[in-house]
């Protein structure tokens, strides 16, 4: 099995008296999908932000390709091949797909002393990179606002991959999407994996995670309840491990009881 | 290999409907309408004679010089309400050192551009540092600059007007850059061919194209190039469209906005330089309400008040409409009091039309 590209070892993070993460270990290898599951407030966001260089851990260490690393900034993290695709996707809806693809890293072409935005290259590259992810654009100059949710995810992912991401951190990429668009995004995840990219898939939807995940790590109140390979755990076990599993059963029983007793 | 993902609900979009989602469309259509209207009502009054054309182009050019950079600033999501006061202030900065302190005109001009650029940078810094709406920050500058202009002028000259610039500027190396005419030769030639009317004394009706018109065209082209073909243009759209996303991608949003505030201030200084050198005097009230006229031209030109979408070519059409209507009303003999009513209504219609076009652009999949 390949060496992990990035690795958190017994990481803890505190905010004043709040223990946001305690002794969490997590890693992702090239070409695998590692799902990070947990309820709201379980520490998923803190873990992502630690991985993407927004927070520095108070205890424990981060290793990139086996070497202990301290990220100075999110830009520093991005330079070491770890790209985070946040829920807002960092897209500008009124700008074209190609211009969004290259925003902040515009390809330039020299005409004598003048260098100008190479629109042809940008259009072609955006189109090709998105079709490599399995999405056929109608027109690379169409505004991003006209894309569907899944296509926007594809743009953000293709952009990260094009600019050298080895690990993709996807923050709840399916949560705001309908059934069809969510399946588009799941396909994108599989596609990225096939290209040898390590994907960290953050979700609280076990159904989505189980379809594409190779390994699953559950966070509960800042602690890891363990990492499981797909063969070691069923979807139902995973569901029960999540906070919602037991609580939904309790709620069900409670409702059944109150129905028997009639209205109070 | 997974199957390709295609949206089955796609229909092909015609060239026409793509054209219909361009920001300049409304302004271009409006320009045609206005021309047709005045061709019918003022066709034989001389509005479309060589003299008349130069007259309305000169009005349009002055506004257009402001409107092009104001368009870029508004696309970046900010307003500059201080450009009008900046015109008055810059005019005084050109006139007073030359008339009262004996500076050569070229030095006063350089001094004025430097000071105005500096104030523009301060406007920009105040906006990005405080995070306050630029509407409020530059509303402050509007009043402060007008007050400063009045105070300084009355303090130094005892009056609110400074004249006598003509005599000083006559042999100045920079004079012809702002007040001259170009293409006198070709115009005389066209007049001899009978294509341009002649005055009673046999001279052509116009002796050349005012240099302000050249500035207008050059500035509009430069701003259009910046917006659509440069890296900076990408940053302008991103800063106005989704500043947070732009920042996350490493776009220097603050620097982009400050640069644009400097550009609008420099445009105001250019406006003042042309006005002072053409008329030979400066007045503390010059430029009053120009900030609003520039915004009207930009909005008619298809730029969204909320930023992120628009064009400099559109602003040029907006300024052209402004000039044609202003001079057209004059030539048709309609009471000029009605001009502002017309422009105000035109702007409201333009805003409604723009949001329709924008929604259309976002729908046209």
Domain boundaries, chain A: 6-233
Mean pLDDT of the region B37-52: 82
Residue B349, both tokens:
């219609």
- Dump the DSSP string for B218-233: HHHHHHHHHHHHSHHH
B241, B363, B364 member nearest A92 (Cβ): B241
- Strands (E) located in B148-276: 161-163, 181-182, 209-210
ipTM of the complex model: 0.82
Work out how many CB contacts closer than 8 A connect A with B.
96
Q: Pairing between strand A215-220 and A18-28? A: unpaired
Angle at which helix B312-332 crosses helix B290-300, to 10 degrees, equals 110
Residue B171, both tokens:
């042999």
Closest by CA position to B349, among listed B98, B101, B120, B27: B27
Q: B236: how many CB neighbours lie within 10 A of its CB?
A: 31
- Give the CATH number of domain A6-233: 3.40.50.300
Residues B282-320: tens digit of each pLDDT: 999 999 999 999 999 999 898 988 899 999 999 999 999
Q: Pairing between strand A223-229 and A215-220? A: antiparallel
Q: pLDDT under 70 in chain A at which residues?
A: 1, 243-247, 262-264
Distance in angstroms (rounded) separating the CA atoms of residues B232 and B293: 26
Q: Of B2 and B183, which is predicted with more confidence? A: B183
Q: Report the percentage of chain B scoring pLDDT > 70.
A: 90
Report the DSSP beta bridge partners of residue A14: A19
pLDDT at position B204 over 80: no
The region that residue B194 occupies, defined by phi over 0 for left and psi between -120 and 50 for alpha, beta otherwise, is left
Residues 6+ apart with CB under 8 A from B348: none
Cβ atoms of residues B312 and B298 within 8 Å: no
List CB contacts (< 8 A) between B360 and chain A: none
Residues B99-117: tens digit of each pLDDT: 999 899 999 999 999 999 9
**pLDDT, position A72:** 82
Residue A146, both tokens:
């006209």
pTM over 0.95: no
pLDDT at position B11 over 50: no
**pLDDT, position B199:** 67
Give yes or no for B76 touching A (CB within 8 A): no
Residue of B nearest to A190 (CA): B2
Q: What residue ranges define each of the domains in chain B, with the CATH number in brackets?
A: 23-35+44-195+207-355 (1.10.3470)
For residue B341, give Cα distances in angstroms to A185, B294, B323, B348. 53, 16, 15, 11
List CB contacts (< 8 A) between A117 and chain B: 228-231, 233-234
- Dump the DSSP string for B299-341: HHTT--TTSS---HHHHHHHHHHHHHHHHHHHHHT--TTHHHH
Closest by CA position to A87, among listed A181, A159, A182, A156: A156
Query: Which of A216-225, B15-24, B209-218 is most confident?
Result: B209-218
Distance in angstroms (rounded) separating the CA atoms of residues B166 and B157: 18
List CB contacts (< 8 A) between A189 and chain B: none
Cβ atoms of residues B308 and B241 within 8 Å: yes
Residues B313-357: tens digit of each pLDDT: 999 999 999 899 888 888 887 877 888 888 888 888 888 887 787
List CB contacts (< 8 A) between B363 and chain A: 146
Answer whether B234 sits within 8 Å of A102, measured CB to CB. yes
Distance in angstroms (rounded) separating the CA atoms of residues A133 and A199: 14
Interface list for B 223-262 with A (CB within 8 A): 225, 228-231, 233-235, 237-238, 241-242, 244-246, 248-251
List CB contacts (< 8 A) between B242 and chain A: 91-93
CA atoms within 13 A on the CB side of B12: 2
Mean pLDDT of the region B167-181: 84
Q: Of B70 and B44, which is predicted with more confidence? A: B70
Answer whether B230 sits within 8 Å of A117, measured CB to CB. yes
**pLDDT, position B316:** 95
Interface list for B 325-364 with A (CB within 8 A): 358, 361-364
Residues 6+ apart with CB under 8 A from A189: A33, A170, A173, A199, A201, A212
Distance in angstroms (rounded) separating the CA atoms of residues A123 and A125: 6
pLDDT at position B365 over 80: no
Length of chain B (residues): 365
Q: How far is CA B247 from the centre of its chain?
A: 29
Sheet of A198-203: strands edge to edge?
A82-85, A167-171, A198-203, A33-38, A215-220, A223-229
B6, B246, B361 member nearest A103 (Cβ): B246
**pLDDT, position A244:** 58
Mean pLDDT of the region B66-74: 96
Closest by CA position to A122, among listed A142, A141, A144: A141
**pLDDT, position B9:** 47
Distance in angstroms (rounded) separating the CA atoms of residues B75 and B311: 8
Residue A147, both tokens:
């894309």
**pLDDT, position B13:** 53
A interface test, pick of B4, B19, B231 with most A CB neighbours within 10 Å: B231
Mean pLDDT of the region B110-137: 96
Give yes or no for B14 touching A (CB within 8 A): no
**pLDDT, position B14:** 58
- Average per-residue pLDDT for chain A: 87
Answer whether A191 sits within 8 Å of B2, measured CB to CB. yes
Q: Pairing between strand A198-203 and A82-85? A: unpaired
Distance in angstroms (rounded) separating the CA atoms of residues A194 and A211: 15
Distance in angstroms (rounded) separating the CA atoms of residues B127 and B80: 10
């Amino acid at each position: 099995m390949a060496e992990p590209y990035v690795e958190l070892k017994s990481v803890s993070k505190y905010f004043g008296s709040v223990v946001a993460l305690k002794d969490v270990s997590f890693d992702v290898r090239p070409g695998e999908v590692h799902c990070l599951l947990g309820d709201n407030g379980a520490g998923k966001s803190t873990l992502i932000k630690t991985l993407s260089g927004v927070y520095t851990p108070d205890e424990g260490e981060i290793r990139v390709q086996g070497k202990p690393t301290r990220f100075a900034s999110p830009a520093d993290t991005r330079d070491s091949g770890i790209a985070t695709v946040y829920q807002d996707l960092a897209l500008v809806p009124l700008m074209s797909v190609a211009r969004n693809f290259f925003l902040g890293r515009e390809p330039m072409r020299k005409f004598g002393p003048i260098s100008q935005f190479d629109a042809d290259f940008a259009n072609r590259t955006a189109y090709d990179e998105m079709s490599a992810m399995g999405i056929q654009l109608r027109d690379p100059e169409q505004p991003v606002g006209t894309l569907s949710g899944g296509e926007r995810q594809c743009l953000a992912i293709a952009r990260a991959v094009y600019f050298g991401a080895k690990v993709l951190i996807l923050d709840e990429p399916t949560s705001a999407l309908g059934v069809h668009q969510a399946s588009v995004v799941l396909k994108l995840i599989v596609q990225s994996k096939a290209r040898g990219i390590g994907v960290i898939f953050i979700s609280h939807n076990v159904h989505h995670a189980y379809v594409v995940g190779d390994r699953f790590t559950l966070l509960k109140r800042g602690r890891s309840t363990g990492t499981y390979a797909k063969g070691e755990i069923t979807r139902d076990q995973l569901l029960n491990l999540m906070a919602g599993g037991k609580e939904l059963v309790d709620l069900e029983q409670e409702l059944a009881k109150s129905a028997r007793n009639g209205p109070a | 290999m997974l199957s390709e993902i295609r949206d089955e609900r796609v229909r092909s979009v015609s060239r026409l409907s793509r054209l219909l989602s361009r920001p300049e469309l409304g302004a271009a259509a409006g320009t045609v309408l206005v021309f047709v209207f005045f061709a019918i009502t003022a066709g034989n009054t001389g509005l479309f004679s060589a003299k008349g054309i130069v007259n309305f182009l000169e009005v349009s050019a002055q506004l257009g010089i402001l409107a092009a950079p104001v368009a870029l600033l508004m696309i970046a999501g900010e307003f500059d309400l201080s450009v009008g006061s900046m015109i008055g202030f810059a005019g005084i900065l050109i006139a007073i050192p030359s008339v009262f302190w004996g500076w050569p005109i070229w030095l006063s001009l350089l001094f004025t551009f430097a000071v105005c650029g500096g104030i523009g940078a301060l406007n920009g810094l105040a906006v990005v540092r405080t995070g306050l709406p630029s509407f409020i920050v530059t509303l402050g500058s509007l009043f402060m600059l007008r007050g400063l202009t009045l105070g300084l002028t009355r303090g130094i000259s005892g009056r609110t007007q400074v004249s006598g610039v003509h005599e000083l500027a006559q042999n100045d190396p920079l004079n012809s850059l702002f007040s001259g005419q170009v293409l006198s030769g070709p115009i005389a030639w066209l007049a001899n061919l009978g294509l341009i009317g002649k005055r009673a004394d046999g001279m052509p009706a116009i002796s050349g194209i005012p240099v302000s018109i050249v500035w207008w065209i050059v500035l509009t082209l430069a701003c259009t190039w910046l917006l659509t073909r440069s890296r900076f243009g990408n940053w302008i759209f991103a800063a106005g469209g989704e500043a947070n996303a732009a920042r996350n991608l490493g776009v220097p949003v603050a620097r982009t906005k400050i640069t644009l505030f400097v550009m609008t201030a420099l445009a105001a200084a250019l406006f003042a330089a042309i006005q002072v050198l053409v008329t030979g005097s400066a007045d503390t009230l010059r430029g009053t309400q120009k900030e609003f006229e520039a915004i009207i031209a930009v909005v008619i030109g298809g730029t969204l008040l909320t930023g992120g979408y628009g064009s400099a070519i559109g602003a040029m059409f907006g300024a052209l409409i402004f000039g044609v209507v202003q001079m057209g009303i004059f030539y048709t003999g309609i009471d000029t009091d009605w001009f502002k009513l017309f422009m105000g209504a035109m702007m409201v219609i333009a805003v409604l039309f723009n949001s329709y076009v924008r929604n259309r652009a976002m729908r046209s999949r």
